[in-house]
Each structure stands twice: as C-alpha cells, then as structure tokens.
Amino acid sequence: MSTVRTVVVTGASGDLGLDLVRRCLDQGAEVLAQYRSRPERLAELDPAGKRLTLVRGDLAEDDGAQSLAVAVPGHWHGVDLLANCVGGARPTPIDELSADAFRACLRANVEAPYAALKALLEPLTRARGSVVNLSSVAAFTGGAFGPHYAAAKAAVVGLTRSAARELGPRGVRVNCVAPGPVASGMTDSLDPAALRGVLAGTALGRVVRPEEIADTVLALAGATATTGQTIVVDGGRYLH
C-alpha cells in the first residue's frame, strides 16, 4: 500500500466501498469518496476531514463523473487507484424483470464505472495509476440476483479487458475483482434458502467478508505487471 497515496472510491458508502475507504485511510492514503446516500457512514471514518473528501452524485448522470473529476484535490500528484465499487441490484426473476429495471441495472453497474474511468483518465495517467472494477461471480455463473445483474457484471469484465489493452501504453493498469456472496446488505436481500444453496456449492462454505475484497483490490493496485485480469473472490464456488 505504500505506493498508493491517492485513492478514488466510487460507491463508497456501500458495504464494500466503505470497508475499502477504511482500509486506505488506515494505511495512510488520502481518499476521495463518491456516494449517493448514507454520507454519515463515511464521515465517521475521518471526522476531521483531513484525508477524506466526500462527493455526492450519480455517476450515470451527464455531469456526475465530471463533478468527481473536478473534486480531485489540487495538491494530489494524480490518482494512484480508482476503485469502482459502484453498483448493485435487487434480486429479480426474469419473468418479473422490466425493461426499465434492466436498463437501470446497466447504468448503475456499467455506465457509472465507465464514466468514472473516463473522467479520471488524466490524473490516472499522470500517476501511472491503477483501476480496479468490481464485477461479480454472477458474470460467470449466472446467479440468484437475476439476468440483469449477471449481464451487467459480465459487461464490467469486458470493459476491464478493453480498457487494459488501450490504457496499458499510458502506464495505467485496469483489473477486476469478482466477489461471490459477501456479508452485506445486498446479500441479505437474497432468499435464505437460495443463499444456503449457493454456499453449499462453495469450497469454504461461507460468505466472503468485505475486508477480503478490500485486500484483493489493494493487492491488484500494487501488482505492477498485472492488467486485464479478473480475480474471483468467492470462497471457492467458481473454480477455473
């Protein structure tokens, strides 16, 4: 973590984003945290506001990502790490899924991280930084959340690979973490029987802890010869 001094986290007030912000602050980094709701969860991590800057907005809106770029502190040398934790979905079976809900899922899970990456290209290039997008094991297995979520998270994997090829010559690495069921509010929304079925097919037989996702994000940020990769962190459900 010693080389990661400046971090932007999108979706920072969610369970995974929140834990990553906490880890980065604990290790001495300065963090710009984007959120849409629950700012109090973030504010308590740095009550004095010395190393944490909060930005409220919707990255899928036209000016949302630009507002994020403008908020990058002027004294930063660039952005060492952009961690796209933005996203999520409500579990919905295919016969109940509306076209509007499908499109909204794509906007939140694909358009938002893409917009953040595009808006922060200049400071990422300046720092020869790293981007880590959060996908999901559902991109490879389908899953209990429904086709909208699996399709969106599969698109994040494609976005990661394409951006890695294009941005590599600029010194910017782009990787992806694909969590399995994580101890979070989103997983809590699953039917308990469905969750038990998922965990029954998992080698470790348990949900993943948010700090285990944060560890993987930070490891990728420091893996200077790794780009275009998707690391599955699901306790051994999807073995490949």
Name 9's Cβ contacts closer than 8 Å, sequence gap at least 6.
Answer: 17, 20, 21, 24, 31, 32, 33, 34, 83, 85
Helix H or strand E encompassing 133 = strand 130-134
Query: Can you list the alpha helix ranges (DSSP code H) found in the chain?
Result: 15-26, 39-43, 64-70, 99-106, 112-119, 121-127, 138-141, 147-167, 185-188, 192-200, 210-221
Catalytic residues: 149
Give the residue from 172, 108, 181 showing the smallest Cα distance to 138: 181
Sort 2 into a burial class: Cβ within 10 Å, 0-12 / 13-18 / 19+. Answer: exposed
Name 225's Cβ contacts closer than 8 Å, sequence gap at least 6.
Answer: none
